[in-house]
Amino acid sequence: MTDRLETAANPEGLNRVVIEPLTRVEGHGKVTLLQDDDHHIHQVRLHIAEFRGFEKFIQGRPYWELPVLVQRLCGICPVSHHLAAAKATDALVGCEALTPTAEKIRRLMHYGQVLQSHALHFFHLSSPDLLFGFDDDIAHRNIFGVIEDYPEIARQGVLLRKFGQEVIRVTAGKRIHGTGAIPGGVNKPVSGEERDYLLADVRQMIEWGQQAVELTRRIFMESPDYHREFAGFDSNMLSLVAQDGAFELYHGGLRALDENGATLFDHADCQDYDRLLHEEVRSWSYMKFPFIVKAGQRDGWYRVGPLARVNNADYFPTPLAEQEAQSFRELDAGRPVQASLAYHWARMIELLYCAEAIGILLEDDDISGTELVRRGEMQHRGVGVIEAPRGTLFHHYEINDDGLVEKANLIVSTTHNNQAMNEAIRQVANRYLDGKELNEGLLNHIEVAIRAYDPCLSCATHALGKMPLEVRLVSSGGELVDRLVKSPAGEVAHGS
Amino acid sequence: MNTRKTFRMDGRTIPFEDGQSIIDAALAAGEYIPHLCHNPEFTPHGSCRVCTVDVDGRMVSACTQPAAEGQQVVNNSDPVNHYRRRLLQMLFVEGNHVCPGCEKSGACQLQAVAYYTGMLAPHFTHFFPRREVDASHPDTVIDFNRCILCELCVRASRDVDGKNVFSISGRGIQSRLIINSNTGRLGDSDYDRADKAASVCPVGAILPKHQGYEVPIGERLYDQRPISVVGDVAQAKQGDNGDG
Ligand code: SF4
C-alpha cells in the first residue's frame, strides 16, 4: 500500500507536475505529482472530471426511453449502457426471465461489444507499450509503429474489431447507438442471412483470439517478475459469476473475493448492490471511491474488469478460453493474480471467450425465434447489472406511478477501479519516478499503469497519438521550470 | 368537355377543383409540398408556414391559398427551401428535441421534413425551455418538449372527437398546449386512446405509453424513403403506393 502518497504531509513548497490530458485512455483525466526539489515524490493523484450529469438529465423521462437514451452517455461502449438500462427496465416491467430468443440476442450483442472493445484496447491502445517497451521513442510507440513493425497483428486487431461491430449491427440495428434491447426483450430476431454472414468469419476470429492470448501471455512471461511488480498490489476483486460459478458477462450473481481468494460475498442479488457497496467522496476527485461494505471503508476497495472476472470465475464455459484460463491461474499457483499488467492477458482470454461464445450462439436456432418480449406487473425499482468490457456496471432507476424516472444512480466500471488506478500510479511513481528528473518515457510509465485498466474517462483514447499532452514542472516559487509538450502529431518538445 | 382548371408548379401543370388549396391540388397530383400543421383530413390551419410557396412572386402558405387558374407556383427551389429551413430551425430550438432518444424518430414529420429540406444544424441558439412530461394518463404520454403547436390534436379533439381536450393558451412565444381538465393533466380529462386526437400528432409529443423502440431503426416510415414519397402524398395519390 502506498497510502502515504495520496496526500502529502506538507504540500506547500513542493513542485507540481501535471500529466494532462492522459493519452490512450477513454476520456479526459489528469495525474498530478508533487515532487520536492530532490525529485522525491510526495503525492500522486488521478483526477477525473467524469460526466455525471446524466443521472439528473434523465429525471422525469419515461422509463421506456432509457435503454436508448442512456447509451448516449458514452460513445465508447454504448452497448453496455444500452443493455444495463434494458436489464433495469426488465425489472421495471416485471419481466423475471427473458424469452430464450431475447436473452440470446442480447448476449450476442454484448459479446460483440466486449470483443470489439477489447480488440480496440489491446491492439490500438496498449500494444505499442507492450511490443516496444514503455520508454520506446514516442514517435514510434503508437499504432503506426505497430502497423509498420507488426502489420499482421495490426490487421488482426482491425478485423477483430470490425467483426465485433458487425455482431452489434446485426443485433442492435446499428454499429453505434442501436436500439435492439427494449424493456422486457428485444425488437427483432437475427435472420438466417445475417447469421450466415457472421458465421463465415467466426472460425477465423477464434483463431486470432487464440493468437492474441498467446501474444499477451508471452509478453508477460518474458519478464514475469517485472510485470508482476509493475503497478502490482493486492486487492479485493468484484464481478458477476454464473449460478454454478462459471465466467459470466451478461447475467448472474455478484461475487467478491479478497486478495487470497476468500469469499466476501457470493451469488449476491444485484438488486441489493447498494447494501453491498458504498461510495466514498473525497474532496480532491469528482469520481467517487466505492468499497465493499463488509470489508470496510479503508480496506474494502476492489478491482473490476477482466482481471477480476478471470480471477473470480471457477471456470470458463468455452473450451479454448478455459484452457487459457488454466495457464493464467497457474501464474500465482492458484492465488488470484494481482498484477495490473495481467489485465491485458485476462482481457485477451475474454476476447477469445467472446469469439467462441458468439460462434455457439450463432448456431442456436433460438436467435431466429419470434417470441421477443415478456412483461409482468410494473415495479417501481429496477437495477440492471452487466459486466461491461471494463467491469461491472450498475444502472438503478426508480420510477413513479406514471412511469417517469424519479431517481437514477449509475456506477460505471471505471469508478469501481478508481482506488486501484490511484494505487497503481502511486506504485509506479514510487518505484520508477522517485528521485529522478522526469521525462516523457518515465511519465509514460504512469500512463501504462492507468491504461492497463482501460479506463473510460469518456472520449480521448480513440484519438490515438493525436492527444496533445502537456507536462509542466513548476518550482516551489511557482516558477515554470520545465515544460514538455506533445503535439497532436505525437512530437515531443521541451518548451518554456 | 374537358375544362379542368390548372395552374403551373415547378414546370408541371396541376389540375384543381374550385375551392381547393394549392397544397391539396398538388398532393392529389402526387406533388409534395413540405408541411407540418396541414393534414388533408382537417381544415387548413396555416400556422407552421412550412408549406410556403412562391405564387407569382409572393410568398404564401399553400395550405390556405386557394388554387387559381394560371398561377405560377414555385415549390422546390433554393430560396423557398432556405426559407423553410429557417422555419424548421426555429421549431427545433423553441422546443427540446433529442431525436436520438425519441420514440418518434424515423416516423416524425418534423425530422423528416428537416431531412428533406436539407437542414443540417439548428443554426439558432437553443431556448432550452423547461417543459414537463405529462404521463398521468394510463395509455398516453404527452411530452410538451416536442410540441410544435400545430394544433392537430386540438382540431381532432374538437372536430372529430367532440371533446375539446386540447387547447392553445398564451400568445406569441408564450403559446403552449394545455389540457382541459380540473388539474390540467391528461389523466383527469376525458381523453381516450381511441380518440382521433391520439393519432394525429406529426411529432413525438403525443405517444402511446410503455412503448420504446419496438419498431427497430430502419423499419420506420421515413427510414427508407423520404417524406416526399411515403407521407400523405402517397395516400393522396390513390391506388399508388408511393412508388411514384
Ligand atoms: S418529435 Fe421529432 S424532431 Fe422532435 S425529438 Fe422526436 S423525432 Fe426529433
Note the pLDDT tens digit of each residue in A295-336.
999 999 999 999 999 999 999 999 999 999 999 999 998 899
Q: What is the pTM of this model?
A: 0.87
Same domain, B50 and B109: no
Same domain, B157 and B180: yes
Rounded CA-CA distance B104/A416 in Å is 36
Residue A388 cell numbers, joined: 461491461
User: Residue B42: which domain range?
Assistant: 5-75
Is residue A488 pLDDT above 60, yes or no? no
Rounded CA-CA distance B82/B94 in Å is 19
Same domain, B118 and B234: yes
The SS3 call for residue A157 is helix
Name the H helices within A58-191.
Answer: 66-69, 78-92, 100-119, 127-132, 143-149, 151-172
Same domain, B118 and B20: no
Q: What is the pLDDT of residues A255-273, one digit of tens each?
A: 999 999 999 999 999 999 9
Q: Give the residue, by CA position, lying nearest to ligand 1 atom 7.
A: B105
Same domain, A273 and A357: yes
Same domain, A147 and A197: yes
ipTM greater than cut 0.85: yes
Number of C-alpha atoms within 13 angstroms, CB side, residue B171? 0
Range B88-108 average pLDDT: 94
In the structure, what pLDDT confidence band is assigned to residue A28 with cuts at 50, 70 and 90?
low
Rounded CA-CA distance B105/B119 in Å is 16
Rounded CA-CA distance A110/A393 in Å is 13
Name the H helices within A363-438.
Answer: 413-416, 418-428
Same domain, B118 and B50: no
* A93: closest chain B residue by CA: B210
**CATH number (domain holding residue B68):** 3.10.20.740
Residue A61 cell numbers, joined: 423521462
- Mention every residue, 6+ apart, whose C-beta is less than 8 A from residue A12: none
Same domain, A85 and A125: yes
* Contact: B213, A404; criterion CB under 8 Å: no
Q: How many CB pairs under 8 A join A and B?
A: 61
Q: In what order do the strands lie in the sheet with A263-268?
A: A263-268, A253-257, A236-241, A302-303
Q: Give the residue, by CA position, lying nearest to ligand 1 atom 4.
A: B97
Q: What is the pLDDT of residues B122-160, one digit of tens each?
A: 999 999 998 999 999 999 999 999 999 999 999 999 999
Same domain, A399 and A454: no
Helices (H) and strands (E) in chain A, counts: 17, 19
User: Residue A346: which domain range?
Assistant: 54-415
Same domain, B215 and B98: yes
Q: Give the residue, by CA position, lying nearest to ligand 1 atom 8.
A: B99
Same domain, A32 and A61: no
Instruction: Single out the residue in A384, A415, A446 at which a domain terminates.
Output: A415
In the structure, what pLDDT confidence band is assigned to residue A495 with cuts at 50, 70 and 90?
low
The secondary structure of residue A277, as a DSSP letter, is: E
Q: What is the pLDDT of residues B56-78, one digit of tens each?
A: 999 999 999 999 999 999 999 99
The secondary structure of residue A366, as a DSSP letter, is: G
Range B212-239 average pLDDT: 82
Same domain, B168 and B208: yes
Which mutation among B108, B148, B150 tests ligand 1's pocket best, with the greatest number of atoms within 8 A of CB?
B108
Same domain, B189 and B137: yes
Please state the domain count of chain A: 2
Same domain, B150 and B69: no
Residue B228: enclosing H or E segment and its boundaries?
helix B227-230
Same domain, A375 and A461: no
Same domain, B26 and B87: no
Instruction: Single out the residue in B56, B75, B94 at which a domain terminates.
Output: B75
* Contact predicate B29/B8, CB 8 Å: no
Instruction: Single out the residue in A415, A442, A470 at which a domain terminates.
Output: A415
In the structure, what pLDDT confidence band is assigned to residue A491 with cuts at 50, 70 and 90?
low
Same domain, A227 and A239: yes
Same domain, A76 and A131: yes
Same domain, A367 and A253: yes
Please state the domain count of chain B: 2
**CATH number (domain holding residue B168):** 3.30.70.20
pLDDT number for residue A461? 26
Same domain, B99 and B25: no
* Contact: A64, B135; criterion CB under 8 Å: no
Same domain, A19 and A83: no
Same domain, B201 and B224: yes
Q: How far is the CA of B106 from the centre of ligand 1 (A)?
A: 9
Same domain, A320 and A429: no
Instruction: Single out the residue in A387, A415, A443 at which a domain terminates.
Output: A415
Same domain, A217 and A359: yes
Ligand 1 binding pocket includes B204 (Cβ within 6 Å): yes
* Contact predicate A331/A349, CB 8 Å: no
